[in-house]
Amino acid sequence: MAKYRVVKQLLPKGQSKDPVWAVRNNAYIAVISGSSDQLWEFTEERDAWMKMVELSGSDSSGRLYDVIEVPE
């Protein structure tokens, strides 16, 4: 049975000093190293999407969130 993990953008749009052609807007991570972030994994895809909506609604950085399937 697969698990579903909530991931977030590594760098929110506009916070990277990279040139336009090298932006890292599509780099997503589950937990930022050294942070107190929690790893959010669920057995039900619906639960993962609900958590993603909750997290994105409470994040003032403008960071995007997504749900990925993690095979066992």
Could you read off the pLDDT tens digit of each residue along the chain, which spans 72 residues?
789 999 998 877 766 676 666 666 678 899 888 888 899 999 999 999 999 999 999 988 888 999 999 988
pLDDT for 10: 84
* CA dist., res. 30 & res. 5, Å (int): 7
Q: Are 43 and 34 in contact (CB under 8 A)?
A: no
Q: Which residue has the tokens 């993690």?
A: 70
15 CB neighbour count, 10 Å cutoff: 15
Task: Residue 63: name the closest of 5, 4, 3, 6 by CA.
Answer: 6
pLDDT for 46: 97
How long is the chain? 72
